[in-house]
Structure 1
Amino acid sequence: MEEYDVYISENFDMCGIGLAHLITPRALITASASAPIAWMNDEVGLPRALSYNPSEYLEMHTCKRVNCQHFQNSLFWSISGFSESFTLIINTGPRKEFGPDFPSMMEISSHAAYTFIYEEPLIDFAYPTLSRIVYLGGIGAR
């Protein structure tokens, strides 16, 4: 059996994340060619700072918000939780094929050594981050 030192996978498509569990590399690096959306925040452990980070479903281009906008943001963040329900469907396929003990895709990707994210922190909304998150502006550019 071949051994791998590092495995890099795009976390938008979960097939690569499941493969990472099967080939058991020494280190898993996930990448996102978009700004983190809905479920990706939870996967990598990024906190959802509702007070100053707008939901991906709501367009807010201002740093100063009124109470109505805070309410809208909270509402849209809760709606984005429904988009995460498709990850439950994704987890059923590998469990049918490899057994019920196969970990969830979120659990596998949460153990990534690093996560590369296409985002420029100097021009995007500021929010708390983790030391294993590496922001690479232009990772998805041609």
Structure 2
Amino acid sequence: MISLRFNFLKYLYPTLCFLTLILITLQHNSDRLQSEFKKVKQLKILVYSPSLSWSHGQFLGRIADTLVDAGHEVHFLKYIMSPDLQMKNETRKVEKIYHIAPSLANAKQVDVRNLHLIADSFSQRRPFLTFFDHPIIEFDPIMATVCKDTLKEHELLQKLTNEHFDVGIAEMYDYCPSALFHKLNVRTKIKVTAIRLIQMVSRKFDIPSFASFMPNAMAPRLGLESSFFLRLLNFYNEFLDWLWIDEIYFRTQDKIIREEFGQDFPNLKELVKDTSLMFINSNPFLELTRPISNKIIYIGGLVDDMASEESKKLDEAINFC
């Protein structure tokens, strides 16, 4: 009996050591697998922000911060259109930020605060007929200057190309972000808008708009209960946008982009359509009923940190529905 107990104890210690070694090895491999799995899931993302104002930049900055919190590697490329963005930083958590500043000659031109038509677009002084004073006509030389200055940053673009980004995110009201992402070999493109889904943007993705009940974004005089005259006026403004205004950016920037990247550069309209998702800074319950695409994701309220109690109650009610 004593001999049997001695033999048992003789082999117990090495057996426990062997099992402990196995457990340590398994734990090490498990930690390594989890680390490798995390690396596989981590994406390298470029956020491009030629922002028109602080609110637009803040929206893109919050998207970037959210992606950093999710464990992704985010880079932020910003063109400083407004002096406010020279002193403010849209993002709090992104470490790799690249700045493109306008020249002294262009600084005043790209500052949208100097343009009365654009300022009026955010007030009650909206144009009655967009044929005479459409804000896009003033936006066009600004966006052309931003595009030209950005594409001429050859060393910076080469540096960004070498990063091999998985995803590119930008507000794509014009064609330059799509051309930039294509040049940088970004595989997946995501479009965002810091405002609601306007017709000028939706038409680029073949999403229809109906002038009978959807007000023109630049002259929204049409209400939920409108007269025949106001509907006819809205139809006229929408028709003008479709016929002429929507092509203004294309006519200007196609020449700029091809001069920089070559005449064999792909069709810009097709590059714009090559978008995986579209993030809209709005709530679907507060939008007019309209056709949308499965690519559209509403993320309204992303920037609102100081929501009132009434806003929180409304949000709970909407989510409950």
Task: Tell me the TM-score range normalised by the shorter chain.
Answer: 0.7 to 0.9
Change (3 A) 1:80 1:51: same
Higher normalized helix content (fraction of residues): 2
Question: Which structure would you say has the larger RCO, counting Cα contacts within 8 Å and 6 or more residues apart?
Answer: 1
Does the CA contact (< 8 Å) of 2:222 and 2:230 recur in 1? Answer: no
SS of residue paired to 1:128: coil
Normalized against structure 2, the TM-score is what?
0.40
What do residues 57-113 of structure 1 show as CA deviations (whole Å, max 9, x unaligned)?
333463233322221111010222333223210111111111122234332121100
Give the structure 1 partner of residue 212 of structure 2: 51
Give the structure 1 partner of residue 255 of structure 2: 92
Q: Which runs of 5+ in 1 are unaligned?
A: none
| Residue correspondences, number | 142
Does the CA contact (< 8 Å) of 1:17 and 1:109 recur in 2? Answer: yes
- The answer to whether residue 268 in structure 2 is matched with residue 105 in structure 1 is yes
Change (3 A) 1:39 1:104: farther
User: Identity rate of aligned residues, in percent?
Assistant: 23
Q: CA deviation at 1:141?
A: 5.6
- The answer to whether residue 125 in structure 2 is matched with residue 125 in structure 1 is no
Show the 5 A alignment for 1:17-32: 17-32=178-193
Q: 1:65 aligns with which of 209, 222, 226?
A: 226
SS of residue paired to 1:52: coil
Give the structure 2 partner of residue 80 of structure 1: 241
Partners of 1:141 and 1:89 in 2: CA distance: 36
Q: CA deviation at 1:132?
A: 0.4
What do residues 11-67 of structure 1 show as CA deviations (whole Å, max 9, x unaligned)?
135432211111222211111112233431222332112222111133346323332
Higher mean C-alpha deviation, range 28-37 or range 76-85? 76-85
Does the CA contact (< 8 Å) of 1:118 and 1:136 recur in 2? Answer: yes
SS of residue paired to 1:122: helix
Amino acid of the structure 2 residue aligned with 1:95? R
Q: Which runs of 5+ in 2 are unaligned?
A: 1-161, 306-321
The two structures, once aligned, show a CA RMSD in angstroms of: 2.2
Runs of 4+ in structure 1 deviating by more than 4 angstroms, as ranges, are 139-142
